[in-house]
Amino acid sequence: MQPDPKHLLSFKTALLTGTIRAAADQLGLEPSTVSRNISALEKQLATALIERGRKGVLPTEAGSLLIDYIQRQAGEMEAFRSQLDALANMERGTVSLALGEGFVGDFSQSVLAKFTQDHPQITFSLTVGATEQMKDAVIEDQAHIGLAFNVAPDPRLNVVAHTDRPLVVICRKNGTFDTAGAVKVEELSTLPSAFLNKGYGVGAVIAAMEASHGFRARAVMETGSIAALKAFVRTDLGVTLLPEFVVADDIKAGILRARHVSIPDFGMGTVTLFVRQGRRLPLAAQKLVPVMARSLAALNA
């Protein structure tokens, strides 16, 4: 006998949201109903699926196996629908993308604009956030494809393509901090700077550089917004550290300038294009992945 879909949904939502109450709020149910649904599922499968602790709901070993099963089933159904569309000679579907904020500008827009021209019936769902959030979105099947900076290795991810990119000092062109020559490491301790939070790949690279090169950057602002970093630099309040491609449009427009640090390969991080290991992507996503991979390779051109 197949598990009741309502019971599976209560179980999955409780784990995704972290608590029974949060799951109930999201599903529009009473907490007692969510608990009964999970209990009924545990009774049917004759095993405990969740553990309740101070930090909320966690899966047991059996619960983790069930989550994997649910994800595989959802992926198979999505792939099946995609194949039906292909049999009917219909190029349609929705691709969900999880992008680090730095990729929302020129890179992703140029890729998606060209792809949309070639495949006008394919639509996109876009999630933007920190590196760890984008990684989790792909692992939890909330997104088909992820693109982020400095993603930590994870056996649950399949890296489709990657390229190494250094961090550079971004300043206002002809501003107070636009001086000749490369930036010396010791200058980073005195330059007023704005940085991304450490939940972002860039923030993690900066922390690693501070530790390995023995300096402490003068951070006057930390934020989760690249737009805020650009505003900080445009108004000549200080500098920031980012991969150069993130501000390519502003550099072309003559607003900002990229200054390299005097140490070779300073702040080197990796731009990674990834999908969940073992997931069967729908046809629309399968078409987009190689296009994004080629564009990623072009960053080195």
**pLDDT, one tens digit for every residue, the chain (301 residues):** 678 888 888 888 888 888 888 888 888 989 889 889 888 888 888 888 888 877 788 888 888 888 888 887 777 777 777 666 664 555 667 889 999 888 887 666 778 888 888 888 788 888 998 888 999 999 988 999 999 998 989 999 999 999 998 899 999 999 999 998 889 888 888 999 999 887 788 888 888 888 888 888 888 999 988 899 999 999 999 999 999 888 888 999 999 999 998 887 788 889 999 999 988 888 888 889 999 998 887 765 5
CATH class of 93-160+270-298: alpha beta
CATH 1.10.10.10 residue spans of the chain: 5-67
Q: Which conformational region is residue 83 in: left (phi greater than 0), alpha (psi within -120 to 50 degrees), or beta?
A: alpha
CATH 3.40.190.290 residue spans of the chain: 164-269
Phi, psi angles (nearest 5°) of residue 127: -115, 130
Between CA 202 and CA 100 the distance in angstroms is: 10
Between CA 11 and CA 39 the distance in angstroms is: 9
State the pLDDT at residue 274: 97
pTM, whole model, 2 decimals? 0.68
CATH 3.40.190.10 residue spans of the chain: 93-160+270-298
Fold of 5-67: Arc Repressor Mutant, subunit A (1.10.10)
Q: Is the dihedral of CA 148, 202, 254, 232 positive or negative?
A: positive
Name residue 184's amino acid. K
Between CA 34 and CA 38 the distance in angstroms is: 6
Name residue 187's amino acid. E
Architecture of domain 164-269: 3-Layer(aba) Sandwich (3.40)
| Six token digits for residue 134 | 């984008």
Phi, psi angles (nearest 5°) of residue 268: -70, 125
Phi, psi angles (nearest 5°) of residue 178: -95, 85
Beta-carbon count within 10 A of 240 CB: 29
